[in-house]
Each structure stands twice: as C-alpha cells, then as structure tokens.
Amino acid sequence: MTMIAKTARTLALGFSLLLSAAHGPVQAADGRFTIAVIPDTQNYVDFTHQRAEGFAFDARDMMVEQMRYIADNAVSRGGEIVFATGLGDVWQHPTIAIDPEHAARGFSARPLPDGPQSGMNPDRRTRGVREVEIPASIAAYRLLDGALPFSIVSGNHDYDAQWWEESWPRDLTAPQGDLRRLGMIHVGGLTEWTRAFGVDSAFFKDRPWYVAAHQNGADSAQIFEAGGYRFLHIGLQFSPTDASLKWAETVIHAHPGLPTIITTHDFLNKDGERLPHPVVNQTVVDPFDNSPQAIWDKLVARNPQVFMVLSGHHNGQSFRVDQNRQGGAVYQILSDYQDRNQAALDAGVAADKAPALGDGWMRLMQFDMDAATPTVRVRTYSTHYRRFASDEPNYARWYKPNEQPHLSDEDFLSRDEFTIPLTDFRARFGAPAAVSK
C-alpha cells in the first residue's frame, strides 16, 4: 500500500479515541505519560547465548522480560506507557554473504574480520539466526501486540548481509577519524527484517496507528495520543537513503502541526557527536546512504515539527540539544546498553568469557504536559535487576569503566537519570487539548 493511500485510510478513520489499543491511538488519562525506549537487543537473542549452545541461561528471556514489563505497564492495562520504540539491532547475525542488489551493483563481499561472520560456519550461523534469533525476537515483540502502539527500526545487524568492501584496505589500526584508511563495512538487504516487522507483518497490518510505510516497512510512521497532544513518530532504517528522508518529510507534511519524534539506529555517539561508528560507515563509499549529520541537515533541521531524535548503536549514553533552522529545540538522546555483562558474571560465567548482554536496561521517558513548562524525566530501568539506575548502588562500578571511565560516578549516573525542560514546546505546538478523566 502506498504512503498516500495508507495516510488517506487513516485520516478517514478520524483517529477515534474510542478505539482500543490494538486498533487505534491511545490517549493517556492525564498530562503524564511514558514512552518506553528499547535499546539494542541483539545480544539477548544471539543463538550462542542460549542454553542449547551451552550458555549458562537463555539470554533471550531478558528480552522477553523487557517486553512483558512494557506491556504490563501500558495505558491500556492501567499503566502510563503509551508508546514503545525499538532502537534497532533486534537480532545479531546476517543470513547471507551479500544481498543481490549490492552484488548487482558490483560490490565485492568478504566476511568481516572481527564480527558476526568471523570464525563461524555460515550454515550454522544462518540456522541460528533463522531458527533462534528471529523467532525469539518476534515472540518477544508479540507481547506488545494489542497492548500499545510501537515502532521498530532496523540496525546494521538486522540486515541480511554484512561484509567488507574489498576496494578499501582492511587496516583496523588506522586512527578512528581516518576513515579513508579503513576497509569499510557494508550492510544490505532487509528481506528477513521486513518479513518479521514490515508493513504486512501481523504486528502492523491494518493497525490505524501505523499510518505510513516506505520500502515495505523499512521506514515507518505511527501516531499516538497522550497528554492532550497527538504525536507523530517516524522510524528510519539504519543509514537511511535520500529516498527514505524524502519519504519522511512527506509524512511530516501530511500531518501538519504534530510534534514529531524520530527514531533511527545510528545518530549520536557517546560523546554527543553526530558522527557514525568509526568503522560501520557506508557514506564514504556509497552516495545513496546518509550519515547522522546528513540526517540532521536534510531532514531534522529543516522540519520544525521534529523536537526529538532517539538512537542506539554506540555503546553508552549521551544527550544534546540543538536548534533547528527555525530556532526550535531538538532533543537528541542516545541509549545503548548492549555491552553490559554483569548478568553473565552473576550467573557464574568467568570474567574473561562473560559476553555482553545488556542486563535488561532500557529507557523510560516520562512526559509531564501539565507543568507550566512541560518536562521529560528520563530514567534508566533494568527489568532484570528490577530497579532504576539511581537505585542500584553498584551502577557506576559495574558500567562506568567500560562506557565513560573519565566521568565521576555522579556524572555517569546523570547521563542515565535526568530531566529535559521542553521550554518551547507550548509555543511550537500550542496548549494541550482537554483530556477526558
């Protein structure tokens, strides 16, 4: 279905607030509501991190715990969560050496020297992702189905293929900033991903809150209602093409005046810079793809409805605020906890063999639209440890050395527990509409 047709269909439904969470926009009961942000889950469902492969426990259960928590705390079930967004890298491994489109363009393919294809039998890897990783991901997200509107974007690990481009020297000792000396990692093909989470998947087909899609759902848009506002959310694939950005702008123009949140896998690094991963960068050799700064320049900065951008990919956390071309504030937030391995250590795995999993950490962003100046309280919660970061006495000791060793314990925690004043939100989007109590 085309974006225009899908938008027309949704508008015809009138976004009725009488619809259930499974079939239409959800309205929070008052001016306070929460958006759940799900960082990279790839290590939970990695088939090598399950009991069947000799691991200490089934790590995929940690992803299930996250989704169950979100569903149990959805507005439709008496909680405050009105929307959930997954930041990408849903699963871990590729399934093919190179996708047909890139092969037809003349790209060569070589397995990554230190990545998902390294040292692993290709047939075993393909079976693992198709028989374990993808089904586990679908099963976990199925817990959200019918509880609340949600979005999932693709990360680089969700593509069918990952490979080195042979036309670049494979020099991993090059300085991070000297991309010209690095053999470049490429990704291609979203057949498996769109089959699981695309526009025609059971999650999104005929859902009125799923208002637009591009490339079979590789990019998508959703609407949810909360705090007296109707919000537009746009999910963009990893390193989106110009076509993706133009599509997103068309969706924004089709929904004038709506405060808009964008989720994309790679946008901020942990130093708060709009720089791609020093190795995983396609823009150097492929002009069809866009870097984080290009996403800002071509889409975010020029569309005043966009007030927030969420991303993962870079292990750590960061936050920055910039003004768009019209002077409006855009809040940009990174959260990615996939390198955390305390849960494996707790299970008795030796320190030198304990893989990174994520320890169940996720972001809960509580909006308060009743305040004189609306605010967003950002908190980080572990469904595994069942506590917020500020309630875990070992939080900095466990995670700071690997993520932000230069920070004090207090500053490290402040990256995961902070409040954002939405100082210009009322001026840009007006007063909240009356909400039924």
Residue 360 token pair: 């169940």
Whether residue 356 is contained in a domain is answered as yes
List, in sequence order, every residue forming a beta bridge with 212; answer none if it has no partner.
221
Residue 437 in any domain: the answer is no
Q: What is the pLDDT of residue 406?
A: 94
Please write the tens of the pLDDT for every residue from 244-265.
999 999 999 999 999 999 999 9
Q: Write down the pLDDT at residue 434.
A: 67
Best CA proximity match to 400, nearest among 342, 331, 321: 342
Residues with Cβ < 8 Å from 58, sequence gap 6 or more? 49, 50, 51
> Which residues are CB-contacts of 391 (< 8 A; sequence separation ≥ 6)?
none
Please state the three-class secondary structure of 100-113 as a single string: HHHHHCCCCCECCC
Question: In 3D, which of 43, 151, 148, 39 has the Cα closest to residue 87?
Answer: 39
**Residue 434 resides in a domain:** no
The predicted structure's pLDDT at residue 92? 95
CATH number at 398 reads: 3.60.21.10
305 contacts: CB under 8 Å, gap ≥ 6: 232, 252, 255, 256, 257, 258, 259, 260
Which pLDDT does position 164 carry in this prediction?
74
Is residue 435 situated within a structural domain?
no
Tell me which amino acid residue 253 is: H
Model confidence pLDDT, tens digit, residues 221-245: 999 999 999 999 999 999 999 999 9
For position 337, what pLDDT does the model report?
A: 97
pLDDT tens for the 437 residues of the chain, in order: 444 334 333 333 333 332 333 444 444 558 999 999 999 999 999 999 999 999 999 999 999 999 999 999 999 999 999 999 999 999 999 999 899 998 888 777 776 655 555 567 888 989 999 999 999 999 999 999 999 999 999 999 999 998 877 565 444 455 544 444 445 678 899 999 999 999 999 999 999 999 999 999 999 999 999 999 999 999 999 999 999 999 999 999 999 999 999 999 999 999 999 986 654 444 444 667 888 999 999 999 999 999 999 999 999 999 999 999 999 999 999 999 999 999 999 999 999 999 999 999 999 999 999 988 999 999 999 999 999 999 999 999 999 999 999 999 999 999 999 999 999 999 999 999 865 44
Angle among Cα 431, 329, 265 to the nearest 5 degrees reads 110
Question: Is there a domain that residue 157 lies in?
Answer: yes
Write a three-state SS string for 332-363.
EEEEECCCCCHHHHHCCCCCCCCCCCCCCEEE
**Is the distance from CB of 251 to CB of 315 less than 8 angstroms?**
no
Q: How far apart are CA 71 and CA 400, in angstroms?
A: 30
Domain-embedded: residue 379: yes
**pLDDT for res 304:** 98
The domain in which residue 406 lies consists of 3-429
Does residue 436 lie in a domain region?
A: no
Within a domain: 369: yes
What is the count of structural domains for the chain?
1
H helix count then E strand count, the chain: 13, 16
Cα 357 from Cα 354, distance rounded (Å): 9
